[in-house]
A and B are shown apart, each in its own frame.
Chain A
Amino acid sequence: MKGTSCTVSKADMRTLEKKIGVRMRTNVIVAIAAVAALMIGAFMLYASAELFSEMNPDPYNHSYEYTVTGMYGEEELIGKASYETISENGSFHNYRFLVKSGTANGIEIERSFTIIFDENDVPLFYDRVGSDPTGSSSTYIQKTDGYVYKITVSDLCVVNSFSVENEEWVMNGTIII
């Protein structure tokens, strides 16, 4: 085997290991305590931030349930829908609808779609088709991939009602307050 080697007596080695070993352990314990202190500092800061955020909740962070009715050909559809958000970006608000309904004959329809609102609470990629007389809500429509989505939106990106339809079925949802 190539390379160099040296010989140290076992007694010398033990003494050396003992001396160095004690210092090592002390240093490691101090370092671990220091890391623990840093972690605690981060948790305390997080707790403070959470406390403040609970005092000032995000008004856009809301979720709603909907009753759903509709038609599948000649059959009646009944179901429910949920509308919720996960805050991703300060400039946009993304909300996802999950619509589930079924017929008396056991046909199940499930459809999910996302609505992206911009900073002015206007749904992107939807066309505005009108608003109610008081101006408190507006109606938007989107046609894509054989589906037609129609939503009525009021303040803070709350969808009061919606409809989704394709060639086979149509589903209408109304918010449960």
Chain B
Amino acid sequence: MNFRNFIEELKGRMSLSKTLIPTDGESDEEYVFREYKVARHSKIIFFAVFIVVFFILLGYKITLGEYDISFFDVYETLWKHITGTIDQSSIVERMNDNVVWEQRLPRVLTAIIVGIGLASAGAAMQSMMKNPLADPYTTGISSGALFGATLAMTLGIYIIGGFYGRVLNAFICALIPAVFIIFLSRWKKPSPAMMILVGIAIMYIFNAFQSYMMLRADPNAASTVYTWSVGSIGMTTWEQIPIIAVVAIFGFFALFLMTRTLNALNSGDSYAKSLGINVDRVRILCLILISVIAAGIVSFTGIIGFIGLVSPHIARIFVGSDNRILLPTAALLGACMMLICDIIGFLIIGATLQIGIVTAMIGGPIFMLILIAQQKEVW
């Protein structure tokens, strides 16, 4: 069975209308309502399955490293740390606590938060622009944010000083491609492919400026910036995690509050306008939120591509296009994908392999397969 047939079969199984047959004496309304309930339950079941998979991946990821710790010990240690019941007289328990809480959890939490942020931003962007190829990475928003952060790190050009200056720089530069996208959408109705080509062009322009800055920078600073810009989650500390979490989780909830509006936008501008939605204002608000998420994430981890692109597509296969369930599922799937990529990267080379390259190696081919398998539905 090829991949396309597999997808078709999977979709067939999930669109339960094919398996449900009206029973004798059942009215049309009862039949439709029953079908709706079954479809809704199946989505909830898929979501629950993803949650279980997520916790398995989280536990397994923390077991990997030079210090051996079992899957169940990971959760036991986490529980003991949270409840404050670590036995201070036991060296083994203290070492487990150090490795799990101080060393591995920041990395894992960063992966999860980044996955949630990027996937929800990608899902919202795809619905908002009715473009299956849209996400902060493909539209150049992440590259803009990277450029802004690099500007602060290599040349010391800040709008405000200090560490938060880097985040603000990233946000402002992320708005450049976002504004360009808004103008392009108004000026000329671009096809999905054209929009992405424009995004790639923007990305290469920013990359060119970034390369120029690297040439002028101190070699040690350039080395750090290059390593970080590929997409690295191993550098984040406990002090930085709350900042990324606030940006990504706030962004996720803000987008989640807009899911009904996004559903209307997904059905077309005229339909959304007929419902009294100010389409332009919603688009601008949505792009600002996406830029905030991208800037917050890129400032700490560099560019991590394809998560925001692939996760919503895979989530759509399982739960459909209703953003109310799609957004949380895509976010959960994004977190799972980040953990999977980190696990694969660790098993291939070790923790030193930047996750950005793994997401490109895995996410790129998966997305191509989805494109080929789903072309009729997507386009």
A interface residues with partner B (beta carbon < 8 Å): 2, 23-25, 27-28, 30-32, 34-39, 41-43, 45-46, 48-49, 52-53, 55-56, 84-92, 94-96, 112, 114, 116, 124-125, 142, 144-145
B residues 174-230 near A (Cβ < 8 Å) are: 191-193, 196-197, 200, 203-204, 207, 219-220, 222-223, 226-227, 229-230
Asked if B164 lies at the interface with its beta carbon under 8 angstroms from chain A, I say: no
The answer to whether A34 and B200 touch (CB under 8 A), given A56-B220, A94-B103, A116-B98, is yes
Asked if B43 lies at the interface with its beta carbon under 8 angstroms from chain A, I say: no
B interface residues with partner A (beta carbon < 8 Å): 22, 28, 31, 65-68, 91-92, 94-95, 98-99, 102-104, 106-107, 133, 137-138, 191-193, 196-197, 200, 203-204, 207, 219-220, 222-223, 226-227, 229-231, 234-235, 237, 303, 305-306, 350-352, 354, 356-357, 360-361, 364, 367-368, 371-372, 375-376, 379
4 more A-B residue pairs beyond the given contacts A86-B352, A89-B234, with a C-beta to C-beta distance below 8 A: A24-B375, A35-B364, A49-B226, A114-B67
The answer to whether A87 and B230 touch (CB under 8 A), given A31-B196, A39-B360, A52-B219, is no
Contact between chains at B229 and A49 (CB < 8 Å): yes
The answer to whether A35 and B66 touch (CB under 8 A), given A49-B226, A56-B219, A87-B350, is no
Chain A residue numbers with a CB within 8 Å of B196 are 31, 34
From residue A31, how far is it (CB to closest CB) to chain B in Å? 5
Give 15 A-B contacts (CB < 8 Å), ordered by A residue. A2-B22, A25-B375, A36-B364, A42-B303, A42-B305, A43-B357, A52-B226, A53-B226, A86-B66, A88-B103, A88-B104, A88-B234, A94-B67, A112-B68, A125-B95
From residue B78, how far is it (CB to closest CB) to chain A in Å? 17
Chain A residue numbers with a CB within 8 Å of B223 are 49, 52-53, 55-56
Contact between chains at B364 and A28 (CB < 8 Å): no
- Alpha-carbon gap, A136 to B339, bound state (A): 41
From residue A128, how far is it (CB to closest CB) to chain B in Å? 15
Chain A residue numbers with a CB within 8 Å of B67 are 94, 96, 114, 116
Contact between chains at B235 and A90 (CB < 8 Å): yes
Contact between chains at A48 and B226 (CB < 8 Å): yes
**Of A27, A91, A94, A95, the contact of B379 (CB 8 Å cutoff):** A27
Q: Which of A34, A91, A125, A144 has the most CB of B within 10 A?
A: A34
**Of A34, A53, A56, A90, the contact of B234 (CB 8 Å cutoff):** A90
From residue A44, how far is it (CB to closest CB) to chain B in Å? 9
From residue A112, how far is it (CB to closest CB) to chain B in Å? 8
From residue A151, how far is it (CB to closest CB) to chain B in Å? 14
Contact between chains at A42 and B379 (CB < 8 Å): no
- Alpha-carbon gap, A124 to B96, bound state (A): 12
Contact between chains at B28 and A2 (CB < 8 Å): yes
Contact between chains at A86 and B351 (CB < 8 Å): yes
Chain B residue numbers with a CB within 8 Å of A31 are 133, 192-193, 196, 371
Contact between chains at B219 and A124 (CB < 8 Å): no
Contact between chains at B133 and A89 (CB < 8 Å): no
- Alpha-carbon gap, A145 to B31, bound state (A): 66
Chain A residue numbers with a CB within 8 Å of B229 are 45, 49
From residue A118, how far is it (CB to closest CB) to chain B in Å? 9
Task: Name the CB-closest residue of B to A92.
Answer: B103
Minimum-distance CB pairs A-B, first 4: A42-B360, A52-B223, A49-B226, A30-B193
From residue B62, how far is it (CB to closest CB) to chain A in Å? 11
- Alpha-carbon gap, A139 to B66, bound state (A): 22
Contact between chains at B191 and A35 (CB < 8 Å): no
Contact between chains at B22 and A32 (CB < 8 Å): no
